[in-house]
Structure 1
Amino acid sequence: MTRGRLRTCALVLLVALPCLAGALGPAAAAAPTPAPSSAVPAPGDPTGGPATVALSSLSPQVARPGTDVVVTGVVTAAEPLEDVTVRVWVRRSVTVRAQLQNAVESTSPEGTPGTLVDVSASLAAGASHRFRVVLPAAAVSGGPDVGVRVLSLDVRADDPDGGTRRVALDKTFLPWVPAANEERATKLAVVWPLHDEPHRTADDVFVDDSLAREVAADGRLRTLLDASQGWTLALDPMLAEDLAEMARPTGYLVATATGSTRRPRSAAAADVLAALRARAAQPGAVTLLPYGDVDVAALVAARREADLKAAVARARAVASTVLGASLAVRVGLPQGEGWTARQVAALDRAGVHTVVLPGSWVPADPDASSTPSARTDVRLGDGVSSPALLSDTALTGLLTGTSRRADALARFLAETAMHTAELPGRPRALVVVLPRDWVPVSAGYARALHATLAAADWVVPSSLAPLAAEPATDEREADVPSGTVSASLSRSYLTSVAAHATAGTQFSTVLATTKRATALAAAYAAERLRLESVVATQDGATLLDRSERALRAREAQVRVVTNGHITVPGGSSFPLTVRNDLDQDVRVAVAFSKSGRVSVQTTKVVRVPAGKATRVSVQTRASANGPADITMQLITPRGKLFGDAQPLRLRVRGAGGPAKAVVALAGVVFLFAAGARIVRRRRPGTDSPHPEGTSPA
């Protein structure tokens, strides 16, 4: 590394350190001697021993030749302690990543002991005190390659039985980078899913206004968006579509107990949408989830792969229209722990040819001296193999776990440094996919992590797409744990969703203009995908009920107006009135059930203008006078029923025409037959029958 480049990296680290100090822990004392006693909040995670020790900061966080390292921390007593001291041990001989975890699990300090530093002459139970230890450059330097030092924070106090005893121990890590290092061998991609539960029905009415809170300055989605800056954002385009609806100048509709109310334009939604559009314009900064983040496991189990294909296609379309970017679902991010062979095959057929799997599912060679690259090909059984990216479960746990932030950041840096140190100069990749339900406590921690890693010589921040496009380094067998990948949505629920979507699509055909009919059909198709979201497990039934009621209300705006009783002259017709309260013209007909007394024909298709009524003529054919109870129901131009059936009582009077002609003709036939019989009986020789058993002469 050139001297100028070294100064640049050092300067970036110096700029990032104030952020880290604020985000990760108490500030280090300025003096080189132990800090005076002062009460501070307990670090948490007590071990149950006499005391706990927690790292506050490492400065700098990367050791370099000629630079001392300052370690600050906090000791908290669980019982009264006397003459409390701390010593930092340094171990240099770390050669593979697995040794980092072994060091954490070890209950003894490792390496060479450093100078003993006094913490406090007396520490009461529950009291905490800070300490500051300076490690000379010579204690941590050495070696021509990137490496990691294990630091053991060894706290001791007087033993009541004499001598001293260890009262607390903590391990942390310090990467080492030589001055001439030119290795940037680890490509690191961190993926942040950004999605939300479905909120809108097909008529663009929000069932609640919770999304407004999510995008507020301190809301979950705003925090995630800010924290993910510099990393890959995995976006559900449904969220962008919802934000665009809320950002309309005319505002947006939110459901109420009696209908809906219009809320003013959401400035927060507009701000988040603008940030998403800016991020989408950056190459590789955004990858897409399928629209609605549909439950892949449930759709595959229910044999509804067509919906998965539709969600992948719609994701691309919405990204183009709402974000103004050419994006696609290029990598299948797991919705649970991972994917089964059947789900991977379905994703591939839907156009998603690379999947992310947890690295723990694809065990590495136990005799290998290095961590394999994240990009590999996997065999999942049943003859299914797929290009894959393996998510590093250890790194994911560090970012999302309960470890103290300073410890987690130091360990994260050490893990990536060891990844490089295992195979210096050989480019490999690491992938971290954060859980969908994880939210950082603050965006400051994530920004500090990104700033520090950006200045780390051994890391090249990368987006997900380039890593997925790389050739695989090997092919390995995946060991999918049984029962870990299951559907969230039930088959019965999906059946109800499909029936609702079909009803909505059928109703769209009554709209008189093709453009509007097509738009409404697309709205119900999109609503179907939203209802199939993987996060619809809790609220999906409620949203489906609201959607069904909204469809019924829309259907009810086109109706037949009648008092339910009509007198019909036999063999004649009668009028009906069809009312259209929609804001657009419709084309409908009226169908009728059968009756033994009267036959009522389906009407011709009529066009009913928006907000008006139209009379239709109904043709009948009666066989007898009297009442006839039937039902009538509106149908689409394609003959599909919609809306509710309505009862109708017809009273037929003066049944004539064909009916009377039939009766008259029957009478004539009867009289003619009777006369012919009388004539036959009066012929000679035929007045009486022959006796039984005889025959005529």
Structure 2
Amino acid sequence: MTPHVPDTPTTQITVKGSLANSGGAADVSTAQIRLRYSNRPFLDRGEIDAYVRGAGRLDTVLWSPNFPVARLGSGQRLTWSLSITPRQLGISRFGAYPLSVELVDAAGRQLAVQRTSLTYFPKDHKVAKTRVAWLLPLVDRPHRGDDANFVDDRLAADLASGGRLSDLVGAAGQAPKPKTLTWYVDPGLLDDAQALTRPHTLREGDDAEQKPANTAASSWLDAVRRATASSDVIAAPYADPDMAALAHNGLDGMAAQAVSDGQRVATAALGRPPATGTAWPADGALDLDTLDVLAVNGAKTVVLYDSVLPPATPPNHTPDSIAQLQSVQGPVKALLADSAISQTVGGDTRSPGTAALALQRFLAETATLTGEQPSISRSVVIAPPRRWNPSPAFLTELLKTSASAPWLRQVGLDELTKPPADYKPVPRAGLAYSSQNELSRKIMTQIKRVRSDADRTVAVSVKGTHVFDRALLRLTSSAWRGRGGDTRVRPVADRVADAVTARTEQVRIINKQKPTLAGNDGTVPVTISNRHKEPVRLKLKVTSSNPHRLRVTEDSREITIAAEASHTAHVRLKAYANGETPITLQLLTPEGQRYGKPVVLRLSATGYTTIALFLIGGALAVMALAVISRFLRRRRDAATTESGAPVEPESPSAPMPDAPQGAAAPGAPAPAAPAAPGAQPYAPPGAPAAPGGPARAVPPAPSAGPGNYAPAGPDPQVWPPVEDPQVWPPVEDPQVWPPVGEEPGGRRRSAPGGATETDSSRAGGQWPDSRPMTGGHTNGMAEPGSHHRGAPGRGPAPEGGRHASGENTDGVSESGRRPRE
């Protein structure tokens, strides 16, 4: 519709549009396009809303001119145009008038209709102009998780020519009165754009791609600086967080961090400090808790939608946009953005016809608002939705119309904070707030968990480096509000969580081997690696799974590790039992919070010190060699005996075993042992029997061989008698033992007098298989007169089992107890 605002009765008004037959409808024929209108303006803004939604009837029909439609087939489109004047419509006074375009068939039945309005402002008409302030949002959703990685490539497309952000800045930059515009800029968006100007990493899922510097991002940042150079700029808190959600979840610290970071980033990106003291909460809504958080962080003015703070009593006109709230910091001004106008210009204006309809609605709303009280100047704030995506042509025309409409005076937002002298505030009801659209509980739980882990990385840093503050703020962005927010935030949240975990694991315990505690009390080394490029300070806590077996004898102590270095801590432990005991190693922050995952090791306590272990090991090795040597020598001698070959005697130079106490030395006569009661005297072969008992035949004793030791000379009190005191026991060959008659391996053999010996009779002494016996030997209980082999170097045991030396060899001690075999 041109012109947008006719000002004379004869002004030629052109109304143009298009007609489309879509959706498989039947062909249209013998139809016409005509106008339907009313010559009475809207009395209030409520009538406009009802009319646009289809309520009310317009009975006046303009029969001429009209546009005939001979035929329009399915899927076809045609354009039409009609020209009229205000006089033809019968309008003459200031106001917005209903106007509709309809398609009717030959019978006059309506086939399609489009409702709009026509605003008329006669020349030289005087009204108290309405002050209109624009708040242009330059906000987007976060595109990075941690600072080093982008989670998608959509920002590059939005910054390129034809993208949303490029069109927004380009069109607004051509506004005729830039000083009267106020920009609301998200520093997080500027930060992301600056990151694009450098080589960066695009990480989508498990795939990572290195991207070059984006030249479109550099161009866009330059355009932002030019467009905002003459305008007021309000810096949003970094990443435009959901301040209400932060306030309701006790994250006031993150809110303060967002405000301070936002100011710093915006100043660096724009080259000048932004305005301070004005806040625009998400969805233009808040409650008293959120208001207090904003006020504590320096907010003197808040921008809300008028539906959040309605009048206490519904008035018959649109109230002024200025109101006041009370916070813990005192009074806070509230600028109430007009919900209807903001939604009108913030809707879809890229589809055919939508931009023209939105512009006409804007004119109708503001004209009717002014006409409600034409003699009183009021103010109106227009704040389109945060992620506004207008058609560039529409935005250009909208700002031009706003600056030129005769009933409007475009001003900066800060001017509205200074009401005129005749201003009378309208009593307001309480804040109407719903938390339905806040960040979900799931998102807030994840934010708290990741933030807790990130805070620990700060706690261990000697320099107190904050690496993840801005990454965490991206998780609180208002972009994740409402339905589907959990899904939209997931890539960002996962990336931040992975980055925090990776940084945490750069300081870790690297023990890989199973530690050993040598001795009952000692230390165990624990190595901690720091791969950060800065020093860290932390504590090591060691916990025993069983303090009754293994106890940690010292509390955790603070450790400082240089950048990119390792440190070995020695933990003192005390073992009460040998064996393995699991111990848990846990790094802690200096404040005692857990840092990273615990490491469980199985510590082995030996009860021996390291030196003792070496000594014991050496002794065992020597013993093993001796046993192996002895075993091999026995095998050799046994093989020789079985083959019938003579056994070479041991070297005469070999030392002889010490004689038992009471035994005679080699070559010397043995002392006579006292005769035991009942012992039979010695009787050589063929001699008569001794008195009191039969004579016994004794085999001749073998000659003494080298190394053999036995009592010298026959003794009537010693049995069995031997001819050579150096040989015992008697054998057929002094170099062969056991005597012929017993097979190697301990099988039974015959002994003089019918006595037998078995392996069990050798318990308590060593009986070499192939050489004279060199160790002590007892036969256990010996019956009087039975064959009993005593210890080498001693004579036969007398009755009662006692040798001449006085030793008891019958297996019964003098006290009457049987010794252990």
Shorter-chain TM-score bucket reads 0.7 to 0.9
Aligned residue in 2 for 1:393 = 339
Alignment CA distance shift 1:541-1:64 (3 Å): same
Q: State whether residues 511 and 587 of structure 1, in contact with CA within 8 Å, keep that contact through their aligned partners in structure 2.
A: yes
Q: Is residue 206 of structure 2 the alignment partner of residue 253 of structure 1?
A: no
**How far apart in 1 are the matches of 2:68 and 2:98?**
25
**How far apart in 2 are the matches of 1:627 and 1:452?**
85
Aligned residue in 1 for 2:30 = 82
Q: Is residue 286 of structure 2 the alignment partner of residue 339 of structure 1?
A: yes
What's the CA shift for 1:630? 0.9
**What residue identity is the alignment partner of 1:179?**
K
1:498-534 deviation digits (Å, cap 9, x = unpaired): 233233222234334x2xx3xx32x333333222223
Aligned residue in 2 for 1:569 = 518
1:379-407 deviation digits (Å, cap 9, x = unpaired): 99x9x986322222322332244673322
**How far apart in 2 are the matches of 1:585 and 1:262?**
30
1:458 to 394, 399, 407: 407
**How far apart in 2 are the matches of 1:166 and 1:652?**
97
Aligned residue in 1 for 2:377 = 427
Q: Which structure: greater strand fraction?
A: 1
Report the 3-state secondary structure (helix = DSSP H, G, I; strand = E; otherwise coil) of the residue aligned with 1:642. strand
Larger Rg: 2
Q: State whether residues 575 and 616 of structure 1, in contact with CA within 8 Å, keep that contact through their aligned partners in structure 2.
A: yes
Alignment CA distance shift 1:545-1:168 (3 Å): closer
Alignment CA distance shift 1:282-1:614 (3 Å): same
**What residue identity is the alignment partner of 2:594?**
L
**How far apart in 2 are the matches of 1:643 and 1:353?**
42
Q: State whether residues 4 and 360 of structure 2, in contact with CA within 8 Å, keep that contact through their aligned partners in structure 1.
A: no
What's the CA shift for 1:645? 1.7
1:641 to 571, 586, 594: 594
What's the CA shift for 1:241? 1.8
**What residue identity is the alignment partner of 1:506?**
R
1:474-519 deviation digits (Å, cap 9, x = unpaired): 133337667x43253344543442233233222234334x2xx3xx
Unaligned runs of 5+ in 2: 176-180, 611-821
Alignment CA distance shift 1:592-1:260 (3 Å): farther
1:212-251 equivalences under 5 Å are: 212-229=156-173, 230=175, 231-248=181-198, 251=199
Alignment CA distance shift 1:511-1:394 (3 Å): closer
Q: Is residue 273 of structure 2 the alignment partner of residue 326 of structure 1?
A: yes
Q: Is residue 364 of structure 2 the alignment partner of residue 414 of structure 1?
A: yes
Alignment CA distance shift 1:581-1:424 (3 Å): same
Aligned residue in 2 for 1:313 = 260
**How far apart in 2 are the matches of 1:347 and 1:463?**
22
**How far apart in 2 are the matches of 1:445 and 1:217?**
17
Alignment CA distance shift 1:201-1:584 (3 Å): farther
Q: State whether residues 119 and 129 of structure 1, in contact with CA within 8 Å, keep that contact through their aligned partners in structure 2.
A: no
1:147-546 equivalences under 5 Å are: 147-153=95-101, 158-159=106-107, 170-181=114-125, 185-202=129-146, 204-229=148-173, 230=175, 231-248=181-198, 251-255=199-203, 261-284=209-232, 286-328=233-275, 330-336=277-283, 338-361=285-308, 370-377=317-324, 387-401=333-347, 404-424=354-374, 426-440=376-390, 442-470=391-419, 473-478=424-429, 484-486=434-436, 488-491=438-441, 493-512=443-462, 514=463, 517=464, 520-521=465-466, 523-536=467-480, 537-538=485-486, 539-546=488-495
Alignment CA distance shift 1:150-1:509 (3 Å): closer
Q: Greater CA deviation, 311-320 or 361-370?
A: 361-370
TM-score by length of 1: 0.72
**What residue identity is the alignment partner of 2:341?**
L
Q: Greater CA deviation, 208-217 or 92-101?
A: 92-101
What's the CA shift for 1:265? 1.6
What's the CA shift for 1:332? 4.0
**What residue identity is the alignment partner of 2:600?**
P
**What residue identity is the alignment partner of 2:428?**
E
Alignment CA distance shift 1:338-1:510 (3 Å): closer
Q: State whether residues 92 and 140 of structure 1, in contact with CA within 8 Å, keep that contact through their aligned partners in structure 2.
A: no
Unaligned runs of 5+ in 1: 1-56, 658-697
Q: Is residue 599 of structure 2 the alignment partner of residue 599 of structure 1?
A: no
**How far apart in 2 are the matches of 1:366 and 1:158?**
50
1:116 to 64, 72, 80: 64
**How far apart in 2 are the matches of 1:256 and 1:82?**
57
Report the 3-state secondary structure (helix = DSSP H, G, I; strand = E; otherwise coil) of the residue aligned with 1:297. helix
**How far apart in 2 are the matches of 1:332 and 1:605?**
44
**What residue identity is the alignment partner of 1:540?**
V
Aligned residue in 1 for 2:632 = none
**What residue identity is the alignment partner of 2:494?**
D
**How far apart in 2 are the matches of 1:117 and 1:487?**
50
Q: State whether residues 90 and 152 of structure 1, in contact with CA within 8 Å, keep that contact through their aligned partners in structure 2.
A: no
Aligned residue in 2 for 1:14 = none
**How far apart in 2 are the matches of 1:416 and 1:616?**
75
**How far apart in 1 are the matches of 2:72 and 2:147?**
65
**How far apart in 2 are the matches of 1:491 and 1:89?**
51
Q: Report sequence identity in percent.
A: 26
**How far apart in 2 are the matches of 1:357 and 1:604?**
53
What's the CA shift for 1:182? 6.3
What's the CA shift for 1:184? 6.9
Aligned residue in 2 for 1:558 = 507
**How far apart in 2 are the matches of 1:367 and 1:623?**
83
Q: State whether residues 577 and 613 of structure 1, in contact with CA within 8 Å, keep that contact through their aligned partners in structure 2.
A: yes
**How far apart in 1 are the matches of 2:476 and 2:78?**
53
Alignment CA distance shift 1:540-1:66 (3 Å): closer
Alignment CA distance shift 1:211-1:86 (3 Å): closer
What's the CA shift for 1:410? 1.7
**How far apart in 2 are the matches of 1:451 and 1:247?**
33
What's the CA shift for 1:650? 3.0
What's the CA shift for 1:351? 3.2
Q: Which structure: greater helix fraction?
A: 1
What's the CA shift for 1:605? 4.7
1:248-288 deviation digits (Å, cap 9, x = unpaired): 3xx2233366685542222222233333334444332x323
Report the 3-state secondary structure (helix = DSSP H, G, I; strand = E; otherwise coil) of the residue aligned with 1:196. coil
Q: State whether residues 151 and 491 of structure 2, in contact with CA within 8 Å, keep that contact through their aligned partners in structure 1.
A: no
**How far apart in 2 are the matches of 1:614 and 1:365?**
68
**What residue identity is the alignment partner of 2:334?**
A
1:200-245 deviation digits (Å, cap 9, x = unpaired): 3455333344433333333333344345444433222222222222
Q: State whether residues 84 and 123 of structure 1, in contact with CA within 8 Å, keep that contact through their aligned partners in structure 2.
A: no
Q: State whether residues 85 and 157 of structure 1, in contact with CA within 8 Å, keep that contact through their aligned partners in structure 2.
A: no
